[in-house]
């Protein structure tokens, strides 16, 4: 079992920055991929970014590429999402998730069904 706890959400003006954290516990995650997803009101959940715990390969949605950065701290068992140049359309509940599978392509990282463990979510609101 893996437990994920997100933090760092809040209210920020357009153009501002936030850093989300996801603290993981319960199992060694060295073979996992960790992902961030978001869901805005009335919309489907969408992939934001992912990172392989071992090796640090990263993957991003086109909508956040160049603005968001995913990283991990092995010592703290924590994954981060640094969000810069925020836009009102980034407003959503952001979820951290853990994918235990050996992904061979981008499609595996972006599919929410490949993630077995999810955090409770943290709200990000970007005002215009």
DSSP state string for 82-108:
EE-S--GGG-EEEEEEEE-S---SHHH
Helices then strands, counting H and E runs in the chain, come out as: 1, 11
Is a pLDDT exceeding 90 seen at residue 83? Answer: yes
* pLDDT at residue number 106: 87
Q: Which of 9-18, 21-30, 39-48, 87-96 has the lowest mean pLDDT?
A: 21-30
């Amino acid at each position: 079992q893996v437990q994920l706890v997100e933090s760092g959400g809040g209210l920020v003006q357009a153009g501002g920055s936030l850093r989300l954290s996801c603290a993981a516990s319960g199992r060694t995650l060295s073979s996992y991929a960790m992902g961030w997803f978001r869901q805005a009101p009335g919309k489907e959940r969408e992939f934001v970014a992912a990172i392989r715990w071992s090796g640090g390969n990263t993957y991003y949605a086109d909508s956040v590429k160049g603005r968001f950065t995913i990283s991990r701290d092995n010592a703290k068992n924590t994954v981060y999402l640094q969000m810069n140049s925020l836009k009102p359309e980034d407003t959503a509940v952001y979820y951290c998730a853990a994918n235990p599978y050996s992904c061979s392509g981008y499609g595996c990282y972006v599919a929410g069904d490949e993630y077995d463990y999810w955090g409770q979510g943290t709200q990000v609101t970007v005002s215009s």
